[in-house]
Amino acid sequence: MNYKRSSPILALGLGLLLCLALPARAGSVVVAVATNLAAPMKVIAQDFERDTGHTALLSFGATGNFYAQIRNGAPYGVFLAADDETPAKLEQEGYAVTGSRFTYAQGRLVLWSKNPKLVDPKGEILSLGRFERIAIANPKLAPYGAAAIDVITRLGLISAIRPKIVEGANIGQAFQFVASENAALGFVAMSQVLVGGEITEGSAWIVPGTMHTPIRQDAILLNTGKPNAAALSLMAYLKGEKTKRTLRAFGYELP
């Protein structure tokens, strides 16, 4: 039997075709995510991996804590904050890529109780004071906590309510205080209580946005993420229509 030797040119051509047929190497990026974004970001990360092949490794926490960690060298590639001030500071201080920052959503604050009869639609329960504990996120670290203090102060109730406040390290912990009924009610993110576009459990007052500083939430590419294809891809993906639909479904307003 006779065998024909393949020419070098033919072999090279087949090699190139094989390379072109293979998908680009998938990568991963470690993402610092403000706790209020936990539920929607898990959905977005799944979509991101399915659509791009890249993996987003999510770490949840308070925006203020992430700020300190990033300045101390934590290996996050992308930061999704609960405010716009912290990413701006990181950019100004040289820890993030200049010009990469953008507002991906605006958060909504809700006064929520697991008790379906406790919180009225206008939040008058706050002035009545018929509760022992009210949960908020640490206002020094979490923008949703600072917004809660804005609301209580605007209502002229800070002196009456302050002794009843229990602080969570972040909005996730504040939510757990209320969900476990260790606090009768608390200020949480709408994304934490919204299911299928509705608040289906407990009782709630959706706080008008005019009662607190707007919760503009910015994303920024950190220096560690600059050479990372997965980080660059995620930053682009966050601006896409699929991500926007997910954020709307969890009650966020879009810029």
Predicted local confidence at residue 192, as pLDDT: 95
62-99 in b/e form (b: 16+ CB < 10 A) is bbbbbbebbeeebebbbbbbbbbebbeebbeeebbbee
What fold characterizes domain 28-106+216-249?
A: D-Maltodextrin-Binding Protein; domain 2 (3.40.190)
pLDDT digits (tens, 9 = 90+) for 57-113: 999 999 999 999 999 999 999 999 999 999 999 999 999 999 999 999 999 999 999
Identical fold between 28-106+216-249 and 107-211 = yes
Please, what is the average pLDDT of the chain?
Answer: 91
Q: State how far the Cα of 9 lies from the Cα of 24, in Å rounded to an integer.
A: 24
pLDDT digits (tens, 9 = 90+) for 209-253: 999 999 999 999 999 999 999 999 999 999 999 999 999 999 999
Sequence length of the chain is 255
* Phi, then psi, of 40 in degrees rounded to 5: -65, -35
pLDDT digits (tens, 9 = 90+) for 11-25: 434 343 433 333 457
CATH of 107-211, one of 3.90.1150.10, 3.40.190.10, 3.30.565.10, 3.90.550.10: 3.40.190.10
Q: Domain segments of the chain: what residues?
A: 28-106+216-249, 107-211
Q: State how far the Cα of 25 lies from the Cα of 20, in Å rounded to an integer.
A: 12
Predicted local confidence at residue 223, as pLDDT: 98
Q: Name the band, by pLDDT with cuts 50, 70 and 90, for residue 196.
A: confident
Q: State how far the Cα of 106 lies from the Cα of 61, in Å rounded to an integer.
A: 18
